[in-house]
Amino acid sequence: MKHIEEYRNPEISKKIASEIKKRCKKKIRLMEVCGTHTTSIFKNGIRNVLPDKITLISGPGCPVCVTPVNEIDAFIELANIKNVIIATFGDLIRVPGSKSSLQKAGAAGKNIQVVSSPIDAVNLAAENPNKKIIFLGVGFETTAPAIAGSIIFAKETSVKNYFVYSAHKTVPPALSALMADNNTDINGFILPGHVSMVIGVCAYLSFFNNYKIPSVIAGFEPVDLLNAILMLIKQIETNSYKLQNAYERAVSFEGNKKAQELIAKVFYKTDAKWRGIGIIKNSGVKINRQFANFDAEKKFDIKTTDALKEPKGCSCGQILQGIMRPTECPLYKKICNPINPIGPCMVSSEGTCAAYFKYFE
């Protein structure tokens, strides 16, 4: 298939769905790691064409959802500094910290601006030389290269009032953490497409070799997702577990070398806290010494708690691990909704709770 319309073809989708039903003989739980996959699965009615034996569960694939409470608190604390402009992607604005959110801080008079890209934040710094521009670096391997590039660009163009708070997370270590958790019952992984474009198939080899669990990288169209599910079913039914790439038109074995080089040049690996999950070893990146002058954590004295707890009654932690569904959370649709989000999973368009609220039932 060469054209995107083919990956949306309902007749092709029906044939694959029919093959899935023929082959699936036992109960299977598959996790789609990516938040965009979760949205696409709902939007395209993928669950409706699968046999009852297959359960799709959503994982920790929403960057703002896994940003812990104490980092949100740090962002708000940075906004309180005199002559600071906080630059951020829009989906972070409403994520709740322990007491507030960036949206509420903005309503209270703090200067918080939504930008489309990190370069926009660098330009904002160049246009406001008397202000300190702090970009909130939240995301996975997909956003890290652009943010690394913005820091390099700021250095090369002598923009000295641009800073980044790096709260990035990396996906492969999170997969290992999920498998190490005895409460997580997963028979196979639908691996993320966008992240895999950057890191390549090879980045999952260590994880796969350790756990030997069926794993397939998938694209985002209906045919992509159904094909990936079929590949997983074939593996499970034949007990021949593999790491496969069902998104070859976008994902290579080695990944995007230039993007990887940008990440390696600006960042170093470190342990990171994931909201609702805890500390995952080597799952975060921070700004290295060469670019320390652009590191907001080093440049500004911010005092935050070490809080990791979710709001009372919120089940985001269990939802991010695939242990619970949003409908099982006692707050879901009662007091937690897109207008009044209690937990981060209801905020982002990639959040599991937001997807359930929009498309389920």
Q: Please give the model's pTM, rounded to 2 decimal places.
A: 0.93
Between 167 and 360, whose confidence is greater? 167
- Has residue 104 got a pLDDT over 90? yes
2-16, 163-177, 273-287: segment of lowest average pLDDT: 2-16
Identity at 197, one-letter amino acid code: M
Q: Burial-class residue 289 by CB neighbours within 10 Å (0-12, 13-18, 19+).
A: exposed
Secondary structure of residue 146 in the 3-state scheme: helix
Give dist(CA 35, CA 181) in Å, integer: 21
Residue 352, Ramachandran bin (φ over 0: left; ψ between -120 and 50: alpha; else beta): alpha
pLDDT of residue 306: 65
Please give the structure tokens belonging to residue 257.
């070398």
pLDDT of residue 361: 58
CATH of domain 69-170+256-299: 3.40.50.11740
- Residues 250, 197 contacting (CB under 8 angstroms): yes
Find all residues with CB under 8 Å of 195, minimum gap 6, and list them.
34, 140, 141, 142, 171
Task: Find the mean pLDDT for residues 223-227.
Answer: 97
What whole-number percentage of the chain has pLDDT above 70? 97
Sheet with 84-88: list strands edge to edge: 112-114, 84-88, 132-137, 162-166
pLDDT of residue 195: 97
Average pLDDT of the residues of the chain: 93
Give dist(CA 40, CA 34) in Å, integer: 10
- Has residue 309 got a pLDDT over 80? no
Task: Find the mean pLDDT for residues 67-83.
Answer: 93
